[in-house]
């Protein structure tokens, strides 16, 4: 029975990987189109940067890439503001706050940094950041992250929001220029409470998967499961 379940799970994961690969190819073309259009309308009012766990007192390569990319986009006039999103999910630090601290050290003014700390999954990063943008009167918005995550979120951003969310997946060649930067932060202001419990202990694997697909979002205020225009 266990072998049969493993075989079924393996088949499902293989199919998902193939679908994701096809989606990435299509998403890459869409991203190129988005960037070309953004050149004509920039700056966006804000970009969303999804969080990543802060482990061992230092950012890892993924967080570094996302924060550096947001800095590059801000520095080059693609956005006026940056929304860093993420709760304390896998580590006892609010991911949005940690990334905001690094961004400020890189040179993004504090007045243009916004931190969202409710999101526990990538779809929630977009959802809660969109609501934050709406509260601040922003009218144009994008998502800036690594190409793989960007492609996974494209269908969600297209279906669930009345305002178009532009995709600005990171450019590795641009990142290389700034890779030498190594800002230091004091993470204490981003620490969660002493009662922090990792999501791996509070939620099963399948529950986390449902969260990744946006199944934990409370759509009561939006019965049609689509958030109104900014």
Domains of the chain: 25-177+192-212 (3.40.50.620)
Cα–Cα distance, 112 to 85 (Å, whole number): 14
pTM comes to: 0.86
Residue 16's pLDDT is what? 42
pLDDT higher than 70, residue 85: yes
pLDDT higher than 60, residue 7: no
Please, which pLDDT band fits residue 30 given cuts at 50, 70 and 90? low
Label residues 175-191 b or e (16+ Cβ within 10 Å = b). Answer: beeeeeeebebebeebb
Please, which pLDDT band fits residue 91 given cuts at 50, 70 and 90? very high
């Amino acid at each position: 029975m266990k072998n049969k379940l493993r075989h079924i799970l393996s088949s499902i994961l293989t199919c998902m990987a193939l679908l994701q690969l096809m989606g990435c190819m299509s998403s890459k073309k869409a991203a190129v189109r988005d960037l070309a259009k953004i050149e004509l309308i920039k700056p966006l009012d804000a970009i969303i940067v999804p969080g990543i766990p802060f482990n061992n007192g230092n950012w890892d390569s993924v967080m570094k890439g996302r924060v550096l990319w947001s800095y590059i986009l801000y520095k080059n006039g693609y956005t006026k503001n940056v929304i860093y999103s993420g709760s304390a999910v896998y580590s006892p630090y609010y991911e949005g706050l940690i990334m905001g601290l690094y961004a400020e050290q890189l040179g993004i003014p504090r007045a243009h940094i916004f931190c969202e700390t409710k999101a526990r999954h990538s779809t929630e990063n977009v959802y809660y950041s969109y609501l934050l943008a709406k509260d601040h009167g922003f009218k144009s918005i994008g998502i800036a992250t690594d190409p793989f995550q960007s492609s996974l979120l494209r269908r969600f951003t297209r279906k669930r929001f009345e305002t178009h969310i532009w995709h600005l997946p990171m450019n590795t060649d641009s990142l290389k220029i700034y890779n030498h930067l190594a800002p230091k932060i004091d993470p204490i202001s981003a620490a969660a409470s002493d009662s922090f419990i990792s999501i791996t202990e509070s939620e099963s694997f399948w529950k986390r998967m449902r969260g990744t697909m946006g199944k934990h979002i409370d759509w009561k205020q939006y019965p049609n499961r689509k958030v109104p225009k900014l």
